[in-house]
């Protein structure tokens, strides 16, 4: 411990003039780099895009099947538009359809009036009631004749969904006199646009408020505006550098990535507060500084725990790269890079700033007393203060506290195998949000909104004609409607004349019409029929409710089991794809990613601690308080029946890394006390007095900055914010209660076997 290697070695010690010169050079270089960094950060922030396809798990057979479906039937990204009073006789439906298809954002429009009119024309010549009944639950409600407009989003519309949805609002206002508040919107394009808007609000409103709250808490807790400003600069600069790196390496923002700046900001503040705490200790305890000075002592004491803490945090975040969902992978990659970057910024900027602009010392720090007296006074204050009282109480009740914490962990761990995840629409937005209210209105007045696609394959050599194949499709549709779950379906059968098997003249004419090339081309144009070299594909769109308790996984499997015997009987096969199977796959993938990334992070961090602590027993014991927050919070979620959201997946690994931060700092001071000849209890008291304040500061600063995002209307981000806050609080309990209790008890001997060696 007393041997300082590297830059603090006397052979490499700099004179005051040299230190001043280097400090100025560092600050000048950092200032000169600001324009490039700001430009890169702004470009990264402006790249916000939430393409629904980015949430589809890669390398999955279900995703490949979905791509195959879109190749043959086109993109299924749509926007559904309706409003109170939107009926088949409302002329505004056709006016809005014409206005929107004239824009570059939409390729085509399908409306109830158009399709009903087409079905009533030759050669089909349906009656009005018959035509309406064919569109029940999809385009028209037969009882009220409420209808809607289904817009197919073009490539340009998919590239800027916010503008595409805004075009609907503008056209409805200009062409139909409909106010934005009257419209009822749904569909993937609308959902993505709502998420894009929320992303921008997070970046430019809530993120700024989060930074302000964190800075105010830091100023209050550090009791120095100058020191808090330095910490603030470290956090802002580190975050901006990370965003610039993301831009220059081709990364883009999405809703999850909008949490990257605030997360890096609070993590950087956490590291900077710890180093600032080391500096204040060095100033107060001049005996430890000797001829080195408080700043050199700060660097020599802080570089290892701060670097190691950042490294373990980066490991926790980088473990998210194991996910198969691209936004989660990108979050893990760039957050890990950002944490590593923040360490470099911290040890370049903060020592230079402290050297050139040292905080004004408190009056008691300038008293004419010896360093040894000040150190003794500091230890006496710690012993007599709140931290001393608390650590003595923990030491006296270490067995009880250890058993209670372990019992809580075991109780919560019991629920971990049963933890649930969700990616349903109604779990992404608050019940009071416009998105949920619009979906409710549309499902009450039109029908279900979440699609599942069934494709029936007929071999090219199949002898059945178009009419006979349509009979098979109709049987499949009827079988689907026999299920318990209320669904709506649509296929080529809905757009064709009645199916006949008789031999009357009328039946023969009708079969001739159905088997004609004209009908074939019409069904291909309607995207319900497709031809390949080997097969003819018939599409059946099944729609289930977006709002409700429907388990999409069970529904998809039930649908498959229901129609499989019928398909086998007719010697055809079926393909099942669409949003519902992919939602189910993504839902299962969330849990796999959560456990896989957490276990990977746990294993690597445990190995790192084994090397640092040079003891397998000590490393495993040190991981107990680090596991405490994740097990208690995630297990507790299952006990109170709260499902895991997309944003929740990132928190477990991040929380593990953050918890290790405080553990590393605490154990560093504990082992230094042991190596300096203190007893185990004295070393524990010294470490607690030095670290507890910084741990509380960083927890309050990080929690205060993150809790701002609980104001988001997007539930995954809201869950992310609350989960991170509770995980931070649980980590504080683990490091300031459970870890000291372990160190004070018999298990603590595992940390002091190599006495006198740091």
Domain ranges of the chain: 1-32+224-358, 57-193, 380-414+614-758, 451-584
**Burial class of 515 by CB neighbour count within 10 A (0 to 12, 13 to 18, 19+):** middle
pLDDT of residue 52: 61
Provide the pairing of β-strand 573-578 with 450-459.
Answer: antiparallel
Rg of the chain taking only CA atoms, in angstroms: 32
CB-CB neighbours of 52 under 10 Å: 16
pLDDT of residue 384: 44
Please, which residues have CB within 8 angstroms of residue 259's CB and are 6 or more apart in sequence?
202, 331, 647, 650, 709, 717, 720
Which residues face 398 on adjacent strands?
A: none
Kindly give the residue spans of alpha helices, DSSP state H, lying in 319-465: 326-356, 371-384, 386-396, 398-413, 434-445
pLDDT of residue 51: 66
pLDDT of residue 286: 58
Whole-number Å distance between alpha carbons of 240 and 632 = 34
Q: Which CATH class is domain 380-414+614-758?
A: mainly alpha
DSSP-assigned letters across all residues of 698-750? HHHHHHHHHHGGGG-SBHHHHHHHHHHHHHHHHHHHIIIIIHHHHHHSGGGGG
Annotation: CATH topology of 451-584 = Alpha-Beta Plaits (3.30.70)
pLDDT of residue 369: 38
Q: What phi and psi, each to the nearest 5 degrees, are found at residue 111?
A: -130, 160
DSSP-assigned letters across all residues of 79-130? EEEE-TT-BTT-THHHHHHHHHHTSTTEEEEEEHHHHHHHHHSTTT---HHH
Distances (CA, A) of 194 to 52, 163, 223, 429: 12, 11, 41, 10
Q: Which residue has the tokens 């479906």?
A: 69
DSSP-assigned letters across all residues of 689-703? HHHHHHHHHHHHHHH
pLDDT of residue 6: 43
Mean pLDDT, 10 residues at a time, the chain of 758 residues? 43 69 92 95 81 67 85 87 94 93 92 89 83 88 90 89 93 93 92 82 78 81 82 91 93 81 82 83 63 77 83 84 82 91 92 86 45 45 66 91 94 86 76 89 90 92 91 94 88 82 73 86 91 94 86 85 94 87 70 77 83 83 89 90 77 75 84 85 88 84 84 82 90 92 87 52
pLDDT of residue 674: 86
Whole-number Å distance between alpha carbons of 151 and 187 = 9
pLDDT of residue 582: 74
Q: Which residue has the tokens 């050599």?
A: 461
DSSP-assigned letters across all residues of 458-479? EETT----HHHHHHHHHHHHHH
For the question of whether the overall pTM of this predicted structure is more than 0.85, the answer is no
pLDDT of residue 368: 38
DSSP-assigned letters across all residues of 260-296? HHHHHHHHHHHHHHHHHHHHHHHHH-HHHHTTS-HHH
Half-sphere exposure of 445 (CA within 13 A, CB side): 21
pLDDT of residue 496: 83
Judge whether 432 and 714 are in contact, CB under 8 Å.
no
450: nearest Cα among 539, 555, 546, 541: 546
Whole-number Å distance between alpha carbons of 697 and 558 = 53
pLDDT of residue 374: 45
């Amino acid at each position: 411990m007393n041997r300082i290697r590297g830059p603090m070695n006397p052979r490499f010690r700099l004179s005051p003039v040299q230190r001043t010169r280097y400090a100025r050079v560092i600050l000048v270089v950092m200032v000169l780099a600001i324009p490039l960094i700001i430009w890169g950060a702004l470009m990264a922030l402006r790249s916000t895009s939430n393409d629904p396809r980015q949430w589809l798990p890669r390398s999955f057979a279900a995703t490949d099947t979905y791509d195959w479906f879109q190749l043959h039937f086109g993109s299924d990204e749509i926007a559904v538009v309706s409003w109170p009073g939107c009926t088949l006789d409302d002329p505004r439906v056709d006016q809005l359809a014409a206005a929107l298809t004239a824009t570059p954002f939409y390729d085509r429009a399908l409306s109830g009036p158009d399709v009903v009119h087409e079905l009533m024309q030759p050669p089909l010549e349906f009656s009005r009631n018959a035509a309406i009944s064919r569109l029940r639950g999809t385009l028209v409600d037969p009882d009220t004749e409420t209808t809607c407009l289904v817009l197919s989003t073009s490539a340009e519309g998919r590239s800027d969904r916010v503008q595409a949805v805004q075009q609907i609002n503008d056209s409805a206002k200009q062409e139909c006199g409909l106010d934005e508040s009257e419209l009822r919107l749904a569909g993937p394009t609308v959902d993505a646009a709502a998420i894009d808007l929320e992303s921008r609000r997070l970046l430019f409103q809530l993120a700024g408020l989060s930074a302000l709250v964190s800075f105010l808490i830091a100023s209050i807790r550090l009791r120095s505006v100058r020191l808090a400003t330095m910490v603030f600069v470290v956090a802002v600069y580190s975050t901006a550098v990370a965003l610039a790196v993301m831009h220059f390496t081709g990364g883009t923002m999405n809703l999850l990535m909008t949490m990257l700046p605030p997360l890096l900001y609070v993590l950087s503040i956490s590291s900077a507060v710890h180093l600032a705490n080391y500096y204040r200790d060095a100033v107060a305890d001049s005996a430890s500084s000797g001829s080195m000075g408080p700043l050199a002592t700060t660097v020599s004491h802080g570089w290892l725990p701060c670097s190691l803490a950042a490294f373990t945090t980066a490991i926790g975040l980088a473990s998210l790269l194991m996910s198969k969902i691209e936004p989660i992978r990108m979050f893990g990659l760039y957050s890990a890079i950002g944490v590593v970057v923040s360490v470099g910024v911290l040890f370049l900027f903060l020592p230079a700033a402290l050297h050139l602009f040292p905080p004004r010392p408190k009056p008691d720090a300038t008293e004419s007393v010896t360093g040894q007296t000040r150190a003794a006074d500091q230890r006496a204050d710690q012993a007599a203060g709140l931290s001393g009282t608390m650590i003595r109480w923990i030491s006296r009740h270490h067995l009880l506290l250890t058993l209670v914490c372990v019992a809580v962990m075991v109780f919560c761990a019991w629920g971990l195998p049963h933890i649930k995840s969700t990616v349903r629409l109604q779990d992404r937005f608050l019940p009071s949000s416009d998105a949920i209210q619009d979906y409710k209105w549309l499902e009450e007045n039109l029908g279900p909104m979440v699609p599942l696609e069934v494709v029936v394959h007929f071999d090219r050599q199949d002898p059945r004609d178009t009419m006979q194949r349509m009979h098979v499709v109709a049987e499949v549709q009827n079988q689907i409607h026999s299920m318990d779950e209320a669904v709506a379906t649509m296929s080529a059968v809905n757009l064709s004349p009645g199916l006949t098997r008789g031999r009357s003249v009328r039946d023969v004419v009708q079969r001739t019409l159905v088997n004609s090339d004209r009908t074939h081309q019409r069904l291909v144009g309607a995207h319900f029929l497709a031809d390949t070299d080997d097969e003819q594909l018939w599409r059946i769109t099944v729609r289930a409710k977006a709002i409700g308790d429907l388990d999409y996984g069970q529904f998809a499997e039930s649908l498959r089991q229901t129609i499989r015997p019928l398909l086998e009987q007719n010697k055809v096969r079926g393909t099942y794809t669409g949003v519902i199977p992919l939602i189910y796959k993504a839902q299962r993938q969330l849990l796999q990613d959560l456990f896989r990334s957490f276990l990977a992070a746990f294993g690597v961090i445990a190995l790192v601690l084994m090397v640092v602590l040079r003891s397998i027993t000590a490393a495993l014991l040190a991981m107990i308080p680090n596991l405490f927050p994740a097990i208690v919070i995630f297990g507790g979620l299952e006990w109170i029946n709260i499902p895991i959201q997309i944003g929740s997946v990132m928190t477990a690994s991040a929380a593990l890394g953050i918890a290790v931060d405080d553990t590393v700092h605490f154990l560093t001071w504990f082992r230094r006390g042991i190596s300096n000849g203190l007893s185990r209890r004295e070393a524990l008291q010294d470490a607690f007095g030095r670290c507890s304040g910084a741990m509380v500061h960083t927890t309050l600063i990080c929690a205060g900055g993150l809790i701002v995002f609980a104001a988001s209307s997007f539930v995954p981000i809201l869950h992310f914010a609350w989960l991170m806050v509770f995980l931070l609080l649980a980590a504080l309990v683990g490091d300031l209660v459970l870890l000291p209790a372990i160190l004070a008890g018999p298990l603590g001997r595992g940390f002091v076997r190599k006495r006198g060696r740091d």
